[in-house]
Amino acid sequence: MVIAIFSYWAVGAPAAYILGFVLDFGGQGIWGGLAIGLAIAAILMNWRYYDRKKLGLINTLPRGPRIIAQYYWAASGRDDKRESVLALSRLTIVFLIGNAVSSPK
């Protein structure tokens, strides 16, 4: 929320004002300022994501496939990482397709 407020109001709105009215670009300047705010938000949110990932605060898998994978690895007793990754990929695809089919429209 703080990133969005900063990006859109502290950066995007003044940039839109300056481009649209001070530099007299009109509507194109206003849209350009909004695009600048959006670009700043994207950069800051990506920075935040990778920073949290580096600290180990983000799980790489959604909850459903992660639970299924834990059961699979416990039941299989295999140490073959390639086979585990392939099986996890299949389970993730099945989970995503199942959610897409069962989600209300």
Q: Tell me how far the alpha carbon of residue 15 is from its chain's centroid.
A: 25
Q: Are residues 25 and 67 in the same domain?
A: no
- Domains in the chain: how many in total? 2
Residue 92 CA to residue 40 CA, distance in Å, equals 32
Would you say the pTM of this structure is higher than 0.85? no
Q: Are residues 49 and 8 in the same domain?
A: yes
- Residues with Cβ within 8 Å of 24's Cβ and at least 6 positions away in sequence, in order, are none
Residue 3 CA to residue 13 CA, distance in Å, equals 14
* 64/56: higher pLDDT: 56
Q: Which phi and psi (to 5°) does residue 26 adopt? A: 70, -140
Residue 48 belongs to what domain range? Answer: 2-54
Q: Which tokens go with 86?
A: 């392939």
3-62 tens-digit pLDDT: 999 999 999 999 999 999 999 999 999 999 999 999 999 999 999 988 988 888 876 655
